Homo-oligomer: A and B are copies of this chain.
């Protein structure tokens, strides 16, 4: 490429990365706020999370359009093309993390007897680990840091263990309190959504590792 073309390509890539960082930040906040709304029964906050998802979706479409424009105008080769395709894929995964937050927010109004619902109090700690994974994987993406990406992948085991424990706790709670089964079923889905957030952060981490090193992380790190 000629020098001004290289410069223009780099400007475009910077913009693409900026859009993904913005999407990531919004998704991270949404997961936290959705769980906050869930624990406190704050339907107004839940509404805010649901609204924000539209912005995240719009950003994904902006990433798609910009990526297509970069490919069409700059005709990047090899590593540069791999970077643009990775951005397209990462934007798709981050958008799904936003969807999980929205999904949690939509269940806020469906929980009854929140005050005495012990399993509710387990979710925020699980959510903290998953949102930290989202935060770290976006840092790893921005810094092209494969070591941090592998740390994110390793953390997913904690989220999975939390999920198993919450699943068992909720089933026990259902058996002992049949009147709460409908609410507890909603919380099963919430726990599952958080577990999926961790899975998606792991997927992004694998892509970041690949984009940074040209290799996927070693088998023992990878998600099944």
Q: Let me know if A31 is at the binding interface, CB within 8 A.
A: no
Chain B residues, Cβ within 8 Å of A178: 174-175, 178
Q: Let me know if A81 is at the binding interface, CB within 8 A.
A: yes
Q: Let me know if A77 is at the binding interface, CB within 8 A.
A: yes
Which A residues between 76 and 100 are near B, CB-CB below 8 angstroms?
A: 77-78, 81-82, 85, 88-89, 92
Our pick among B85, B170, B192 for the contact of A68 (Cβ within 8 Å) is: B85
Nearest neighbor of A173 in chain B, beta-carbon distance: B181
How far is the CB of A93 from the nearest CB of chain B, in Å? Answer: 9
Stretch at the interface among A16-24, A32-40, A141-149, A182-190: A182-190
Chain B residues, Cβ within 8 Å of A206: none
Contact with B along A126-156 (1 / 0, CB 8 A): 0000000000000000000000000000000
Check B89 against A68 for contact (C-beta < 8 Å).
no
Chain B residues, Cβ within 8 Å of A67: 85
Nearest neighbor of A78 in chain B, beta-carbon distance: B72
Chain B residues, Cβ within 8 Å of A75: 75
Give the most central of A67, A174, A175, A189: most B CB within 10 Å.
A174
Can you list 19 A-B pairs, Cβ within 8 angstroms, ordered by A?
A68-B82, A68-B85, A71-B81, A72-B77, A72-B81, A75-B75, A85-B88, A92-B92, A167-B185, A171-B181, A174-B174, A174-B178, A174-B185, A175-B178, A178-B178, A181-B181, A185-B188, A188-B188, A189-B192
Q: Can you add 5 more A-B contacts, CB < 8 Å, to A68-B82, A72-B81, A167-B185?
A: A64-B85, A71-B71, A171-B185, A174-B178, A185-B185
